[in-house]
Amino acid sequence: GNSVTQMEGPVTLSEEAFLTINCTYTATGYPSLFWYVQYPGEGLQLLLKATKADDKGSNKGFEATYRKETTSFHLEKGSVQVSDSAVYFCALRIQGGSEKLVFGKGTKLTVNP
Question: Contact positions toward another protein, by CB under 8 A?
Answer: 4, 36, 42-46, 49, 89, 91, 98-106
Q: Residue 36 CB, nearest distance to another protein (Å)?
A: 8
CA distances from 28 to 3, 25, 54, 110 (A): 9, 10, 19, 34
CB contact burial 47-78 (16+ within 10 A = b; e otherwise): bbbbeeeeeebeeeebbbbbbeeebbbbbebe
Q: Which is nearer to another protein, 17 or 101 (CB)?
A: 101
Q: Residue 47 CB, nearest distance to another protein (Å)?
A: 11
Q: Which is nearer to another protein, 64 or 102 (CB)?
A: 102
Q: Which is nearer to another protein, 12 or 98 (CB)?
A: 98
Contact 50, 68 (CB under 8 A): no
Q: Which is nearer to another protein, 17 or 87 (CB)?
A: 87
Q: Residue 15 CB, nearest distance to another protein (Å)?
A: 27
